[in-house]
Chains A and B, each alone.
Chain A
């Protein structure tokens, strides 16, 4: 993905770390009791896919991303891109977070 901020140079390991972190958060946040974080496919569809997430889950993730990463997702069109899959979500967070990723 193109990234004018230059953060795309971030090491792959950092991105992998963010994706792992998000997996844990999503399982916890959305009460996905039957799913282990590592079972989530970072490139698989989040909504309507195996996870059976819906629009309310998206709202919870919007709030979580704003609260934990300071990244706001203001409209539905952007949301559709960001929540396409976990990799897209992580990339958007990495590209837009105001501070360094931990």
Chain B
């Protein structure tokens, strides 16, 4: 075997259990509950529910609570590492929400106050702090985010695309999650009691967990990261599949990815939130996989609450600690195991040697993940990894202010502006009314794009996996939830709006519409959100002979879009849109392919442009292979972006026609998805219409098109004919 092995060499954890590995370890050994009444903000009638709140004092300024938790965990994980990571991958859902809620409540209209709102800003802050100059990626798949981030990091390390990755998850308590889960009637008023016969729900929590992962260097290794698996229920926006279908699939995939069998698992750190439905479904999935005598099991959520996006990463840190301490942690809070579940969780901490441990982490949208962590044993086999390669385009669709695919192309071919915002009914015109009944803007956009792409592919076969990139997520739902909350004195927010507010809700809707049960990953990170989705698809989207759906979309919301996105503010005409591509990462057939070749945060050093040019194969290859360049220069970063573009042109010596596409399709974070749709169309037809190239029709012949992004992120996606 020549495959790469991945080791955990540093860990950080901040949760109600404590701050740092030592405190967490002591809390796990003691097995007490750390739940207590919420004190972070006032609640109506002063009757706070029990939560898993981090009780150390955190300064409110200048950055939001999520960022502060993440910084603490990242500092701990990096404490013994002198070398900066090549990449940072963070799973989070709340981002700056805790701060944004206060600002919106106070009616603050200064955009500067919202600069930390984006979920992606957490990973970027961490990257700055630890000196990471490579890829910075953010996964936002609700409560499985942390585990999905670990899976993505694992894939990057196995392919050798990174040697050191800092990965983890973080979420802070905020009104959105506290009142949201309460509106769903998923809270146990007495505190979470996972797998108890009297359990009534979960306790919302918070925390951060970060792991420093390295390839092939077991020096100072705490544990080995053996494998991970993803799946999607494609069943319901929030409720798990009753038989735990997706939970089972994720566990099977993770164990298989680790090159092991179920019999090798010594302990399972369960998702076990304490909700009646989750615990039942998870117990059924465990029984199905492990039979009537599963290994010892427990969930930490009766002790710490459910730290949402941090849960999977905290689970990974927890079990790494337990492997080292020869400890099986207790399923705190449970007095009477539910006989119906036929699953007896460990009721008090036990001393036991652990070789291989499975960690479960599930979330809204039916997003499931499982990871396998093992003792850093000397001998293990590792399979070779799939290196991302160009993905064959089988179909594509887009949407802009001009309308859906054909209307947009007609305007673009004439060189006319596609700026603007479509009416809700026009967005979802091709979708059955009952499917979109409760949905606001973004899920309709994403579903319509996906359906359009599928129709154009000429096949009914659903994609095997789904990847979705969005700069700002479902702003309409987020705003409606908070508005409803504040208007009713924080009593009656809408459960529907809460469900729809998570970034991955639209991708979950598509999974249900198509019955897509493979990996379902939503990424976010400003103007490069869609590129992140493409990168994730390259690593995680490959399924034998099957397609993957990659979507990028952003809505325009008044007033949030302008408050959050400086480029939206910089354009007089509000715009929204996106694109969907069905890609086959497994095919070697002839056709047009896309490949995310370069992704980095912009740096000022002189080497940066050279690295970019080299990553595209050098000046000669760029000139030989590409006939046009679609450049995305966000309005708010115009000056920097233009300078970067000029530096790239000078360094590569290209004289290609450059299409400044945001001037045509408008300012929205995932505009690059529409640009990629354009590039694919031009490369397929072999021509770029004259109005887009200073009046001279450009023949591409067999050359391709380069789609690049400039500004805070510099990205390059190759579109080639093969």
A residues with a Cβ closer than 8 A to B are: 30-34, 52, 55-57, 59-60, 62-63, 66-67, 76
Q: Is the interface of B mostly helix, strand, loop or mixed?
A: loop
Whether the pair A33, B433 counts as a contact (CB closer than 8 A) is: yes
Residues from chain A with Cβ under 8 Å of B434 in the complex: 34, 52
Whether the pair A59, B433 counts as a contact (CB closer than 8 A) is: no
Decide yes or no: A60 and B492 within 8 Å by CB, A31-B437, A31-B438, A33-B437 being known contacts.
no
Segment of B41-49, B135-143, B494-502, B632-640 engaged in the interface with chain A: B494-502
Q: How far is the CB of B330 from chain A (nearest CB, A)?
A: 28
Q: CB within 8 A of B495: which of A59, A67, A76?
A: A59
Residues from chain A with Cβ under 8 Å of B496 in the complex: 56, 59-60
What sequence of 0s and 1s flags, for each residue 463-499 of chain B, a beta carbon within 8 Å of any chain A beta carbon? 0000000000000000000000000100111111001
Q: CB within 8 A of B494: which of A32, A60, A76?
A: A60
B184 adjacent to chain A (CB < 8 Å): yes
Bound Cα distance A70, B228 (Å): 47
Measured CB to CB, the nearest residue on chain A to B440 is A31
B residues with a Cβ closer than 8 A to A are: 183-185, 236-239, 276, 433-434, 437-438, 488, 491-496, 499
Residues from chain B with Cβ under 8 Å of A32 in the complex: 437
Between A and B, 30 residue pairs with Cβ closer than 8 Å are A30-B438, A31-B437, A31-B438, A32-B437, A33-B437, A34-B433, A34-B434, A52-B434, A55-B236, A55-B239, A56-B237, A56-B238, A56-B495, A56-B496, A56-B499, A57-B438, A59-B183, A59-B184, A59-B495, A60-B494, A60-B496, A62-B185, A63-B492, A63-B493, A63-B494, A63-B495, A66-B492, A67-B488, A67-B491, A67-B492
Q: A33-B437, A56-B495 are in contact. List 4 more A-B contacts (CB 8 A).
A: A30-B438, A31-B438, A57-B438, A60-B496
Interface centre among A31, A34, A56, A67 (most CB of B within 10 A): A56
Residues from chain B with Cβ under 8 Å of A52 in the complex: 434
Residues from chain A with Cβ under 8 Å of B433 in the complex: 33-34
Measured CB to CB, the nearest residue on chain B to A68 is B492
Residues from chain A with Cβ under 8 Å of B184 in the complex: 59
Bound Cα distance A30, B439 (Å): 10
Bound Cα distance A90, B201 (Å): 28
Q: Please name the 5 residue pairs, one residue from A and one from B, whose CB atoms are nearest each other, closest first.
A: A59-B495, A67-B492, A31-B437, A63-B492, A31-B438
Bound Cα distance A56, B499 (Å): 9
Measured CB to CB, the nearest residue on chain B to A34 is B433
Bound Cα distance A31, B495 (Å): 14
Decide yes or no: A56 and B491 within 8 Å by CB, A62-B185, A63-B183 being known contacts.
no
What number of A-B contacts does a CB cutoff of 8 Å give?
38
Decide yes or no: A59 and B438 within 8 Å by CB, A33-B433, A67-B488 being known contacts.
no
Bound Cα distance A47, B491 (Å): 25
Q: How far is the CB of A34 from chain B (nearest CB, A)?
A: 6
Measured CB to CB, the nearest residue on chain A to B185 is A59
Q: How far is the CB of A36 from chain B (nearest CB, A)?
A: 14
Q: How far is the CB of A12 from chain B (nearest CB, A)?
A: 30
Bound Cα distance A31, B428 (Å): 15
Residues from chain B with Cβ under 8 Å of A30 in the complex: 437-438
Residues from chain A with Cβ under 8 Å of B493 in the complex: 63
Bound Cα distance A66, B44 (Å): 15
Bound Cα distance A56, B439 (Å): 12
Q: How far is the CB of B189 from chain A (nearest CB, A)?
A: 10
Bound Cα distance A34, B432 (Å): 11
Bound Cα distance A59, B186 (Å): 11
Bound Cα distance A30, B297 (Å): 40
Bound Cα distance A72, B414 (Å): 59
Residues from chain B with Cβ under 8 Å of A62 in the complex: 185
Q: How far is the CB of A52 from chain B (nearest CB, A)?
A: 6
Q: How far is the CB of B539 from chain A (nearest CB, A)?
A: 33
Interface centre among B434, B491, B495 (most CB of A within 10 A): B495
Interface centre among A30, A55, A66, A67 (most CB of B within 10 A): A55
Q: How far is the CB of A59 from chain B (nearest CB, A)?
A: 4
Bound Cα distance A67, B496 (Å): 16
Bound Cα distance A28, B488 (Å): 18
Residues from chain A with Cβ under 8 Å of B499 in the complex: 56
Residues from chain B with Cβ under 8 Å of A63 in the complex: 183, 492-495
Bound Cα distance A64, B183 (Å): 11
Bound Cα distance A55, B488 (Å): 23
Bound Cα distance A56, B184 (Å): 8
Bound Cα distance A30, B494 (Å): 11
Bound Cα distance A33, B439 (Å): 12
Interface centre among B239, B494, B499 (most CB of A within 10 A): B494
Bound Cα distance A62, B491 (Å): 13
Whether the pair A60, B491 counts as a contact (CB closer than 8 A) is: no
Residues from chain B with Cβ under 8 Å of A66 in the complex: 492
Bound Cα distance A88, B491 (Å): 25
Bound Cα distance A57, B488 (Å): 19
Measured CB to CB, the nearest residue on chain A to B434 is A52
Bound Cα distance A58, B493 (Å): 14
Residues from chain A with Cβ under 8 Å of B494 in the complex: 60, 63
Residues from chain B with Cβ under 8 Å of A76 in the complex: 276
Measured CB to CB, the nearest residue on chain A to B238 is A56
Q: How far is the CB of A41 from chain B (nearest CB, A)?
A: 18
Bound Cα distance A59, B182 (Å): 11
Measured CB to CB, the nearest residue on chain B to A54 is B236
Bound Cα distance A67, B183 (Å): 12
Residues from chain B with Cβ under 8 Å of A60 in the complex: 494-496
Bound Cα distance A52, B436 (Å): 13
Interface centre among B238, B488, B496 (most CB of A within 10 A): B496
